C-alpha cells in the first residue's frame, strides 16, 4: 500500500527505507540510468519489389471527380487531403468487378488521376469506364508512363514508425512515393517513369538506402501480402465471384458508407448494416507447399479448403510459396489452430492453418 501511494521511483523507495528500515531489509533499487552504449533495436530494412503485372488507367477532365464518385465504393473527396485512396468497382449485382488504388497523377492538373489495377484488367476497366462516361467531360485511356514498385518491411519493431511519404523524395523527381492507404504494414507504392530497370534500382536505393531490392519478381511482396491476409488483383478477387466486404474492403478503408449512390451500393450497404459477413479473405500457412508446385493453375483456382471433419470451409484464392489466401467461413475456422487441408482435384491433400489477422477488429460481426 505504501509503495502504491508513493510510486515505484527510486526516490520513493529510498524514503520508505529511511522511515521503516526494519520492514524493508532487502529492498533494492534498480538504477533507471540509460547508458550511452545502450541502443534500441535496429530498424528492419525495406524490401523493394517490382509489380510488373500492375498497370494504370488514366481518368482526367473537369468532371473526373463526380464521374468516379458514382462508380466506385470509396469517396473521391478523401483525395482533398490525401494523395491516394483504395476502392473497388462493382457490378450492378454488388459483386466485385475489380479493385484499384487511385493516385493523383504526379505533376498534373487537379482533376487528373491514375487508377492502378492488374494488367489483364486494365483494358476491361477502360471499357467499363467509357461505358458510363456519357456526356461527362472526362477522358479515359490506359497510361504506360509509370511502373509501380512496392516498398515494405516484413518485420516491424513495436515502437518503429514508418516515415511519411513526403519525407521519401527523389531529388530528380523521377520517383513518386505514396503511402499505401490500406494498412500501414503494406508500406509504400513507388511510381517511376524510369523505364530502364538498372537506373530505376539506383534511384530507389537513394530513397531506401538499406533496402533489399528484388530484381524481377513480385513474389516476396505477394507472399508478404498473403501473410497479412490482404487480397489484390484478379487472382484474389476474381471478376463477379466475390463481394467487397468478403474481400475486407471495409476493413482496408476502401468503402464509404456516407457518400451518395454508386453502382452496386444497395447490396453492399445492406450487408454492412446487418452487421454479418460470414466469409472473408484470410491468410493461410502451408506445411508442405512443394506438393502443390507442379499443380495445374486451373486446378488450384478455387481449390476447396476443408476442416478436420471433412467439411468444406472455403476456397483457395491465391498461393505464393508457403503462404496462401483463402475465402473462409469465419465461424468454422476460428478460434485459431484448427487444422485445415487444401484439396486439389486429382492431387494430394496439403495441410494448412489460418489465423485472425491482427488488423481485424475483435468482433467480426460488429461493424468496424
Cell of 122: 486494365
Out of 3-7, 209-213, 219-223, 329-333, pick the least confident: 3-7
Question: Grid coordinates 453502382 are at which residue?
Answer: 263
pLDDT surpasses 80 at 198: no
Q: Would you kindly state where each structural domain of the chain is located, as residue ranges?
A: 47-145+216-228, 279-367
Q: What is the pLDDT of residue 329?
A: 94
Tell me the mean pLDDT in the region 69-89: 95
| 284 beta partners | 324, 354
pLDDT confidence tier of residue 165, bands split at 50, 70 and 90: low
Cα distance between residue 119 and residue 51, in whole Å? 10
User: Mean per-residue pLDDT for 323-348?
Assistant: 87
Q: What is the pLDDT of residues 92-118, one digit of tens each?
A: 999 999 999 999 998 878 899 999 999
- What are the φ/ψ torsions at residue 297 (nearest 5 degrees)? -55, -35
With CA atoms as reference, report the closest residue to 317 among 255, 242, 224.
Answer: 242
pLDDT for 364: 65
Q: How far is it, in rounded angstroms, from Cα 269 to Cα 274?
A: 9
* 302 — pLDDT class (breaks 50, 70, 90): confident
- The region of weakest confidence among 70-84, 233-247, 348-362 is 348-362
Phi then psi for 28, rounded to 5 degrees? -110, 145
pLDDT of residue 178: 94
Q: Count other Cβ atoms within 10 Å, centred on residue 315.
A: 18
Please state whether beta strands 47-50 and 112-118 pair in parallel, antiparallel, or not at all (unpaired): unpaired
For range 51-68, the mean pLDDT: 96
Position 184 scores a pLDDT of: 93
Asked whether residue 252 carries a pLDDT value surpassing 60, the answer given is: yes
pLDDT band at residue 169 under the 50/70/90 scheme: low
Question: Binning pLDDT at 50, 70 and 90, where does residue 39 land?
Answer: very low
The cell for 243 is: 463481394
CATH homologous superfamily of domain 47-145+216-228? Aminomethyltransferase beta-barrel domains (3.30.70.1400)
The answer on pLDDT for 346 being more than 60 is yes
CA distance 312 to 78: 40
C-alpha to C-alpha distance for 84 and 253, rounded to whole angstroms: 11
The residue among 81 and 41 whose pLDDT is bigger is 81
- H or E segment at 224? helix 219-228
Quote the cell numbers at residue 155. 518485420
Phi, psi of 22 (to 5 degrees): -70, -25
Residue 175: pLDDT above 50?
Answer: yes
pLDDT given for residue 7 in this prediction: 46
> What is the rounded CA–CA span in Å between residue 172 and residue 178?
17
- pLDDT, position 336: 74
Are both 47-145+216-228 and 279-367 of the same fold?
no
- Cα distance between residue 31 and residue 33, in whole Å: 6
DSSP 21-37: TTT-TT---------TT
Radius of gyration of the chain (CA): 25
Residue from 256, 272, 349 nearest 303 by CA: 349
In this structure, are strands 304-307 and 340-343 parallel, antiparallel, or unpaired?
antiparallel
Residue with cell 478523401: 78
Partners of residue 281 on adjacent β-strands:
327
Fold (topology level) of 279-367 = Elongation Factor Tu (Ef-tu); domain 3 (2.40.30)
Amino acid at each position: 500500500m505504501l509503495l502504491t501511494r508513493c510510486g515505484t521511483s527510486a526516490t520513493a523507495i529510498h524514503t520508505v527505507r529511511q522511515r521503516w528500515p526494519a520492514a524493508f531489509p532487502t529492498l533494492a533499487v534498480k538504477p533507471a540510468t540509460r547508458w550511452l552504449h545502450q541502443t534500441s533495436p535496429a530498424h528492419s530494412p525495406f524490401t523493394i519489389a517490382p509489380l510488373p503485372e500492375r498497370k494504370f488507367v488514366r481518368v482526367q477532365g473537369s468532371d473526373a471527380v463526380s464521374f468516379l464518385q458514382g462508380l466506385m465504393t470509396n469517396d473521391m473527396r478523401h483525395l482533398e487531403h490525401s494523395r491516394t485512396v483504395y476502392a473497388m468497382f462493382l457490378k450492378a449485382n454488388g459483386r466485385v468487378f475489380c479493385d484499384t488504388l487511385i493516385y493523383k497523377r504526379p505533376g498534373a492538373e487537379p482533376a487528373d488521376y491514375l487508377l492502378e489495377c492488374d494488367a489483364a484488367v486494365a483494358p476491361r476497366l477502360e471499357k467499363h469506364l467509357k461505358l458510363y462516361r456519357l456526356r461527362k467531360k472526362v477522358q479515359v485511356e490506359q497510361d504506360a508512363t509509370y511502373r509501380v514498385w512496392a516498398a515494405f518491411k516484413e518485420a516491424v519493431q513495436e515502437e518503429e514508425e514508418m516515415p511519411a511519404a513526403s519525407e521519401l523524395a527523389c531529388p530528380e523527381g523521377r520517383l513518386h512515393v505514396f503511402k499505401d492507404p490500406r494498412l500501414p504494414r503494406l508500406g509504400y507504392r513507388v511510381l517511376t517513369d524510369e523505364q530502364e530497370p538498372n537506373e530505376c534500382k539506383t534511384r530507389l536505393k537513394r530513397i531506401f538506402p538499406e533496402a533489399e531490392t528484388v530484381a524481377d519478381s513480385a513474389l516476396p511482396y505477394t507472399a508478404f501480402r498473403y501473410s497479412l491476409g490482404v487480397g489484390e488483383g484478379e487472382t484474389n478477387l476474381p471478376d463477379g465471384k466475390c463481394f467487397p466486404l468478403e474481400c475486407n474492403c471495409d476493413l482496408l478503408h476502401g468503402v464509404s458508407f456516407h457518400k451518395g449512390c454508386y453502382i452496386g451500393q444497395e447490396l453492399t450497404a445492406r450487408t454492412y448494416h446487418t452487421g454479418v459477413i460470414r466469409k472473408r479473405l484470410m491468410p493461410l500457412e502451408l506445411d508442405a507447399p512443394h506438393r502443390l508446385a507442379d499443380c495445374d493453375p486451373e486446378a488450384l483456382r478455387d481449390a476447396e479448403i476443408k476442416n478436420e471433419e471433412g467439411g468444406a470451409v472455403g476456397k483457395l484464392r491465391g498461393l505464393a510459396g508457403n503462404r496462401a489466401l483463402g475465402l473462409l467461413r469465419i465461424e468454422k475456422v476460428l478460434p485459431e489452430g484448427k487444422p485445415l487441408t487444401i484439396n486439389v482435384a486429382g492431387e494430394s491433400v496439403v495441410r494448412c492453418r489460418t489465423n485472425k489477422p491482427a488488423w481485424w477488429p475483435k468482433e467480426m460481426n460488429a461493424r468496424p
